[in-house]
Amino acid sequence: MTTIAFIGLGNMGGPMAANLVKAGHSVRGFDLVAASCAAAKAEGVSIVGSAAEAVAGADAVVTMLPAGKHVLGVWADILTAVAPGTLVIDSSTIDVESARKAHARAAERGCLSLDAPVSGGVGGAKGATLTFMVGGSDEAFAKGEP
């Protein structure tokens, strides 16, 4: 069983985290919106009090956030709390400049990272039928593929 931290439990992230639980992973989640946390908790996600708490000791981290500024802010926070070598995946649909900055920061920390925005909308998130468009190193891709 893999321990996955999931940051951003809204319309897309909540169902994505729930599907990871259904697939047998241990998922620790965090979101600023209490209702999103409650919905994810009902699906088996362990809710924690901060993004940093979610990522501590996680094998992989997934972020699903509204915009590049949110990703940069969260990654600045979590990259101080993850161990080098941790896989960090961003599935948000954000601007190229923010994505490049986030992934450069992950590399500076010694983390593997994947840029993995999705297509398929909320229905795809709920039905586990999203299409991921993934960019990153071969090593990061191999670690994230399962």
Q: How does pLDDT run across 122-143, given as a tens digit for each residue?
A: 999 999 999 999 999 999 999 9
- Which residue in the block uniquely carries the two structure tokens 């919905």? 39
pLDDT band at 15 (very low <50, low <70, confident <90, very high): very high
Q: How does pLDDT run across 66-79, given as a tens digit for each residue?
A: 999 999 999 999 99
Q: How does pLDDT run across 96-115, given as a tens digit for each residue?
A: 999 999 999 999 999 999 99
Give yes or no for a contact between 27 and 51, defined as CB atoms under 8 angstroms apart: no
pLDDT score at 41: 98
Residue closest to 99 by CA, chosen among 79, 75, 122: 75
Q: What is the pTM of this model?
A: 0.95
Q: Is the pLDDT of residue 1 over 70?
A: no
pLDDT score at 146: 85
Residue closest to 61 by CA, chosen among 22, 92, 96: 92
Q: How would you classify the pairing of strands 131-132 and 118-119? A: antiparallel
Q: How does pLDDT run across 35-51, given as a tens digit for each residue?
A: 999 999 999 999 999 99
